[in-house]
Structure 1
Amino acid sequence: MLRRLGVAVTAALLGITMLAEPAQAADFNVKDYGAAGNGSANDTAAIDRAITAANAAGGGTVRFPSGTYRSPNSIHMKSNVTLQLDSGATIMGASGSGYDKPEPNPNDKYQDYGHSHFHNAMIWGDRLTNIGFVGSGTIDGGGALITGNPDSGQADKIISLTRCENLTVSGIKLRRGGHFAMLINGCRNVVSDRLTIDTASDRDGWNVISTTNVTITNGNFAGNDDALAFKSDYALGQKLSNGNVKVYDTKLSAGCCNALMFGSETCGDFTGYDFQRIQIQGSNKSGLGLVSMDGSVISDVHYKDITVSGVRSPIMLKVGARKRCGNSPGVGTIKNITYDNITINGASPSFSPTIMGDVDGHVTDVTFNNVKINVPGGNGPMSTNPPSNDRTNYNPNSIGTRPAYGWYIRYADRIKFLNSAVSFTNNDGRPAVIADNSTDLTFDTFGWERGTSSPTDFLFRNTNGFCVRNSGSPRVQNTGSTEKCGVSNDFSLAVDPASRVVKPGETASFTVSAASTGSPGPISLDADNVPAGTVVQFNPATIVPGQTSTMTVATLPDTPHGSTNINVIGTAGQITRSAVAILTVGDQPAELELSGLTVADTGNAGDWSLQTGLRTGVAQYGDRDFTFSAVPEEVAGAKWIRTANDSKSATQNPLARFTINRDALVYVAVDTRLGKRPWMDALWLDSGLQLVNTEGSPKTFRLYAKGFRAGEVQLGPNGGASNYTVLVE
């Protein structure tokens, strides 16, 4: 695997044809076509004239200088045209009956009215190519767009596009969108960056329907209904594909309904979705919702580095049997889904995280890794029988109050929970987990809490092959079920030596090895955080546990001086582990020194101290007698910070500060009942390493690692359980 290659070289290796950048498109200023921009004149006709002129010229940019462009009629987009709204420019909707009438649709019985008609919008187009909405201005419905079913001449959408290709929506803001701020159906090749949607007073933010090849970055979408929803309906008279979608670094919130949602319209199949670094704040239905109601197969959906708060239903996966689609569908399935590094604070005691398959379509092959969910709790003991379920309804309330405060699972196969946890804020009388009619359920290093009156902790009924291990001492009950705990399939990576020093133009070599439990399978090697002006290569690029690979890092004569923590990443199936190789270009770094430790928890600060030579047998805390019983060889001998266990509930942020004299790798060993802390950003990596102590009930601590430059290091609070320990190499 090569990194930091030039664009042309990379393109050649991948067989990509690099096209010359087109000449700058001409500008068509709407004021030159009669637009007043004074907020009172009707500027629609002038806008349409500018769009027509740009299209007739072979393409161009229709520019809106600062001003308010009142548009009480529909604007008609055309191919090869980009609308650019300058700072201070607003296209403003207006009340009345001047918008285009909804076109007839013989398939409108298969989806809601708003999904079936597209012409009744502020801006619409069909079968367009190479179009865009860019700039820093705003398109505002003005409170005039309809949130329900509009009368003829009224609009219920800001932007409505069907069967489009090569769409760019970046930088602008959409406000007060009626039923939809933006609805696209049957499109492909969509790019959006820095789009803001503020339609919390109305309904949906952005509905992406039957669309492929989508990249959304740096968005901020606030809706009242669904903030960002991926759907597939029958409005265009056929079952269409969906997929190859990436959503990164985006903030979402929803008032009444769903924040990040699949469905409910789910006619076509969905595959290849990647969601990373998403923040969700508020949702009265699902935070992360994924339903198949109309026969679709939903597969290969991946969620990573997501924080969720204030949602009624934290995570819901459901297969239903509504079958509202024109192709006589059966019951669909949901499969091959992963959740990594997810932190959720739920807001309802009734809608616990749920996996609800269907008797005719199970949910299969789902992995939760480092998924921590806290729910309000507060329920007393209740029946543990399966809750009611309306197979034709997708809402979280279509399933009765869950009999578990944590996970309720039914009709699901091959579900894994790794280094994950459920907890409650208020004492709850329900079990942590209940599963019915499922197979191959694994809970490995799973944190849970026990309510004072709960009948059991884990309950399995008619479940073939369940396993609860490395998860404390839970009470496990089963009826008609079988336990099957083999050796867990996992691995860890090690890099030798841990660091290398080279001069610019020289090459450094590291040996990468893998140790395993079980049979994780072949491990593909890759690297990121590679310094500029270097190339990294693995030989071989794939190993199995017990084998080694040589990682060669080649520098150039002009590679900048400095130290870099290269992340060496191994992937085996759905398991990803990492290690760090420190490369210093230039002079040998000074010996690592820690100094200047300060602790905001002043009442316990005296029990914190700087230490050297981490090893088994030494006291973990300054205020406890617990010692370390297991220390991985990768960190044995490291310099470290002995903390105070009584600081575990301190809330100051930062809690601790200290100084390192050179670039170094900092590990924070966190109680596995907690997992990755909310203050840890995406650069904190799960090393796969663990410390174990000699507490009465021994506790295990997962090591999360991040590289820091020389200077001050700040660490946040622990947040309960046993306090963390800090290691530095």
Structure 2
Amino acid sequence: MLKTCLSALLLICTALSPAQASPVKPILINITATGANGDGHTLNTIAIQHAIDSCTALGGGIVQVPAGKFLTGTILLKSNVTLQLDENATLLGSTDIKDYQVIDGFKDGLGQQMGYALIGAVDIQHTGITGKGTIDGQGKLVYASGGHQRRPFLVRFVRCDTVNITGVRLTAPTAWTLHFFHCKNIQASNLTIYSRGLGNNDGIDIDCCEQVVIRDCDINSGDDAICFKTTSPYPCRKVSVSNIRINTGEGAIKFGTESAGNFEDITVKNINVAFAREGGIKIFSVDGSHINNIAISDVEMDSVNMPVIMRLGARLKTFRDGDAKQPPGSITNISIKNVNVKHGTWTGMLISGIPGHLIENVSLENIHINIPGTGTAADAAVVLEEKPADYPEIKMFGKIIPAYGLYIRHVSNFRFNNITFTSDKTDERPAIIGYDLANINFSKWKFPASGGNGPVAIISDANKVQMKNITLPKNPKTFLQLGGASSGGIVVPKNLTVTTDSSVPENAVTKQ
């Protein structure tokens, strides 16, 4: 039956070939013409793949999925073929893990085998997925059938050029929802993603890609919503992400964890985060990547743990056979501005390099963060370990952070301008704790009333740190507590009190 349908289809398409048809119309193949059945029970992998293969063989065009529920295992897109899902059309992932193929496999940050996919594309160009239909991975059922070890992605593009995915609804993956690896010239827009219920349910992963535009999407994900990765030494660069609405069980905007290649020239703007359980803006280089020239702006967050975290570490993992380990990388030339957080928890910002490897040249401007104000004096005494080789995450240093506003160490050339903290209660921790600092400018900071008797800021081993235009409800007993024999060039407002320990050189502090 399939052979008969396919023969008839080829005759029709030949009749409409560019040599004979005028005006030229793109080839359109409805998957029912190759034998697909939308009853939700018939496995259609072969029929759908025949439609795609036939379309590319005839020069390309559209493979149409009409209204109905079409069950399928792994299907592979081909060059010059667009998969079009009509309204009320659903591609259902098979619940049998045996129906899935691995596509360019690799290991993730936890060392697990990845790369299986429901819809895949490898080494092709001019392809995509459009329409008003749905791709439903039936992830929980796949996982129950043995998908714990394979965990198929929903949609995966590998080394593709010129990809357009727009309009469709993507739901219920077993692992990541939409993964682009080593692709270029990507357009992804007006997507609705719902990926909840299993671990590693990322929304969109942009991995070693360049010339990418992601815009106007709704993402409700169990794991990171928008995640920039480099699982190989190739860079991720020239990416624009805008107008994204996010609700996530992990991070909203994340760079890393897999960070073997560089991240360069990336802009993220107009982001609305309803909830982010494990971080708002997360920038991690731990496997040797150089993160450079990143601009993030106009971010509204409602409820989020740890609104901003940056981590330069030295885990130094590889993810693909043959890749060599690299030395620690860098984080430099970062701009984050116009961020408003209604309900933050833990602490507002955590920024940590490691000894000998500083985060450099960072600007944070127009930031407002509200915190619950539940920190205690005991919390303020907690000392955070360095943990240079650990998996980077907001909980890597523990759930208690000794500062409510900013914990910062191993950094150079930072500018903080117009930063406001508000608090539901009076927090007993310092607003700022920092050490190993150089060339730091704190300007136009506003703090809530303190619930403790300790200093507002504690810094040590700091050189050339300027604090000006500081607003407090009332002047505290001690504004700044300064330590460290290498401290010097500290400038603070003349109306605020500074205490120093015995190691601090004379004339280390200037008031003006």
Structure 2 CA distance for aligned equivalents of residues 357 and 309 of structure 1: 28
Structure 2: distance between partners of 1:484 and 1:381: 26
CA contact 2:217–2:244 (8 Å) conserved in 1: yes
1:482 — aligned with what?
488
Matched, 1:92 2:92: yes
SS in structure 1 of the partner of residue 170 of structure 2 = strand
- For residues 269 and 97 of structure 2, what CA distance do their matches in structure 1 show? 42
Q: TM-score, normalised by structure 2?
A: 0.84
The 1:347/1:306 distance shift into structure 2, 3 A limit, reads closer
In the alignment, which residue of structure 2 is the partner of 1:377?
373
Q: CA deviation at 1:388?
A: 2.0
In 2: Cα distance, 1:454 partner to 1:265 partner: 42
Letter of the structure 1 residue corresponding to residue 92 of structure 2: M
Distance in 2 of aligned mates of 1:402 and 1:133 = 44
Give the superposition deviation at 1:276: 0.9
TM-score of the two chains, using structure 1 as the length reference: 0.60
Residue 248 of structure 1: aligned partner: 242
Post-superposition CA distance 1:188-210 (Å, at most 9, x none): 11101101110122321121111
Matched residue, 1:442: 441
* Conserved 8 A contact 1:436-1:463: yes
Does residue 298 of structure 1 match 2:297? no
Evaluate the alpha carbon distance shift between residue 160 and residue 30 of structure 1 in structure 2; reply closer, same or farther with a 3 A threshold: same
Offset at residue 454 of structure 1 (A): 4.0
Q: Answer whether contact 1:313 1:346 (CA < 8 A) is retained.
A: no
Q: Secondary structure at the match of 2:174?
A: coil
1:22-33 matches, cutoff 5 A? 24-33=25-34
Contact 1:94 1:141 in 2 (8 A): yes
**AA aligned opposite 1:215:** V
Once residues 414 and 468 of structure 2 are traced to their aligned partners in structure 1, the CA distance between those partners, rounded to angstroms, is 14
Work out which of the residue numbers 175, 190, 193 in structure 2 matches 1:194: 190
* Pair 111,381 (structure 1): closer, same or farther in 2 beyond 3 Å: closer
What amino acid maps onto 2:480 in structure 1?
A: V
What is residue 45 of structure 1 aligned with on the other side?
46
Compared CA separation, residues 423 and 486, structure 1 to 2 (3 A): closer
2:117 is matched with 121
The one-character-per-residue Cα deviations of 1:486-535 (angstroms, maximum 9, x if unpaired) are 99xxxxxxxxxxxxxxxxxxxxxxxxxxxxxxxxxxxxxxxxxxxxxxxx
Q: Label 1:476 to 1:97 Cα distance change in 2 as closer, same or farther (>3 A).
A: closer
- Which position in structure 2 is the counterpart of 1:60? 61
- Amino acid corresponding to residue 341 of structure 1 in structure 2: N
1:328 Cα deviation after fit: 2.0
SS at 2:433's partner residue?
Answer: strand
CA distance in 1, matches of 2:343, 2:387: 23
Aligned length: 454
Uncovered stretches (5+) of structure 2, i.e. residues with no partner:
1-22, 494-512
Q: For residues 140-198 of structure 1, what are the alpha-carbon distances to aligned partners after superposition, in whole Å with 9 as ceiling and x for unaligned?
A: 0124333998368x652111221111111100010001111122211111101101110
The one-letter amino acid paired with 1:193 is S
Q: Is contact 2:467-2:492 (8 Å) kept?
A: no
Q: Is the 8 A contact 2:103 2:120 kept in 1?
A: no
Aligned partners of 2:255, 2:127: CA distance in 1, in Å?
26
Distance 1:188 1:454, change over 3 A: farther
**Which residue is 2:20 aligned to?**
none
1:331-382 Cα offsets, whole Å, 9 max, x none, are 1111111111110134433x44111111132111111111111111211113
Say what the alpha-carbon RMSD is for the aligned residues.
2.3
Give the letter aligned to residue 435 of structure 1: G
The aligned residue for residue 10 of structure 1 is none
Cα distance in 2 between the residues matched to 1:101 and 1:447: 55
Q: Superposition pairs for residues 600-679 of structure 1, below 5 Å?
A: none
Please state how far the C-alpha of 1:43 moved relative to its aligned partner.
1.9
User: 1:148/1:181 Cα in 2 relative to 1: closer, same or farther (>3 Å)?
Assistant: farther
Q: Secondary structure at the match of 1:31?
A: helix
Query: What is the aligned counterpart of 1:165 among 154, 161, 184?
Result: 161
1:282–1:148 distance in 2 versus 1, CA, 3 Å: farther
Cα distance change on mapping 1:147 and 1:240 into 2, 3 Å? farther
Aligned-pair CA distance for 1:385? 6.1
- Secondary structure of the residue aligned to 1:463 is strand
User: Equivalent of 2:225, from 210, 215, 227?
Assistant: 227
How far residue 423 of structure 1 moved from its aligned partner, in angstroms, is: 2.2
Equivalent residues of 2:206, 2:236 under 8 A apart: no
SS of equivalent to 2:188: strand
Kindly indicate whether the alpha-carbon contact (under 8 Å) linking 1:93 and 1:142 is maintained by their aligned counterparts in 2: yes
Q: SS of the residue aligned with 1:390?
A: coil
Distance 1:104 1:318 in 2: 29
* 1:97 positional shift: 3.6
Q: 1 CA distance for matches of 2:434 and 2:33? A: 67
Q: Give the secondary-structure state (helix, strand or coil) at the position aligned to 2:450.
A: coil
Q: Are the aligned partners of 1:209 and 1:230 in contact in 2 as well (CA < 8 Å)?
A: yes
- Which stretches in structure 1 are left out of the alignment for 5+ residues? 1-21, 488-729
> Does the 8 A contact of 2:114 with 2:152 survive in 1?
no
Q: Is the 8 A contact 1:63 1:86 kept in 2?
A: yes
> 2:168–2:191: 8 Å Cα contact kept in structure 1?
yes
The alignment partner of 1:46 has SS state of helix
Q: Distance in 2 between matches of 1:353 and 1:372?
A: 11
Q: Tell me what 1:688 maps to.
A: none
Give 1:452 shift.
Answer: 2.5
Aligned to 2:470: 471
Deviation, structure 1 residue 29? 1.0
Whole-Å separation in 1 of the counterparts to 2:419 and 2:145: 41
Q: Matched residues in 1 for 2:145 and 2:308: separation?
A: 28
SS at match of 1:204: coil
Shift of 1:65: 1.4
Deviates more, 1:288-297 or 1:356-365: 356-365
Does the CA-based 8 Å contact 1:386-1:436 persist in structure 2? no
Question: Larger C-alpha radius of gyration, 1 or 2?
Answer: 1
Partners in 2 of 1:104 and 1:227 — Cα distance? 23
The structural deviation recorded for 1:450 is: 3.0
Taking a change above 3 Å as real, the CA distance of residues 148 and 41 of structure 1, as seen in their structure-2 partners, is closer
Distance 1:291 1:298 in 2: 8
1:323 and 2:316 aligned: yes
**1:398 aligned residue:** 396
Give the conservation status (yes or no) of the 8 Å contact 1:145–1:176: no
CA distance in 2, matches of 1:151, 1:339: 38
Q: Deviations over 1:568-610 (max 9, x none)?
A: xxxxxxxxxxxxxxxxxxxxxxxxxxxxxxxxxxxxxxxxxxx
Cα distance change of structure 1 residues 75 and 148 upon mapping to structure 2, 3 Å threshold:
same
